[in-house]
Amino acid sequence: MGKQLTNRGKEVDRSPMTFLESIYLWNIIKGMGITISHLFKKKATINYPEQKRSFSKVFRGLHVLNRDAEGRENCTACGLCAVACPAEAITMEAAERLPGEEHLYREEKYAAKYEINMLRCIFCGLCEEACPKDAIYLSETFAPANYSRKGFIYKKEDLVIPHPIHEKEAYEKARGGRVEINKKD
């Protein structure tokens, strides 16, 4: 016999069956003992829609476009995320901030259009790492099923986080814990 790959290998026993084995009955009873013991074991199943398993701290889910504390969008449409993206899932169009829009956008330039194709995205998180403005990060939810391919192209309105002052609760929920982990100093 060659070298064993694991310590769980067992040599095959090819000795002829003993009388007890040849009538099967004893071995069947032994097997039934094993199965009945499973009757009392804890079930591994999670009742999915009612009960959900929490994700790990570093789980990378759907993207969120972040706002600052006053509710202004962080994104400046620099395009670094699109460059970093190995799956080429991100497209954007930049626009200049007009006077009177200071409460909407944090800096002079913003993303007028921002799309992520969730079918292309591999949820690697490189966009998050590339972003110099803390504008994009991956949240703790995953992309829900959809009827058409079109539905998987997420527009800016699908991605931007709820307003932290007007919709505080929804903002906290969307924010999750991951933004803290990823915070750059």
Residues that bind another protein (CB under 8 A): 23, 25, 28, 31-32, 34-36, 38-39, 41-45, 47
Q: How far is the CB of 46 from another protein (least distance, A)?
A: 10
Nearest residue to 139 via CA among 117, 172, 93: 172
Cβ at position 56, least distance to another protein in Å = 24
The residues, ordered by sequence, that sit 6+ positions from 112 with a Cβ below 8 Å of its Cβ are 77, 93, 94, 95
The single residue listed with the structure tokens 């009873």 is: 29
Residue closer to another protein (CB basis): 43 or 183: 43
* Residue nearer to another protein on the CB measure, 1 or 44: 44
Q: Do 156 and 114 contact (CB within 8 A), yes or no?
A: yes
Shorter beta-carbon distance to another protein: residue 37 or 148: 37
Quote the least distance from Cβ 34 to another protein, whole Å. 8
In the complex, the smallest distance separating the C-beta of residue 33 from another protein, rounded to whole angstroms, is 9
**Tokens, residue 26:** 């004893």
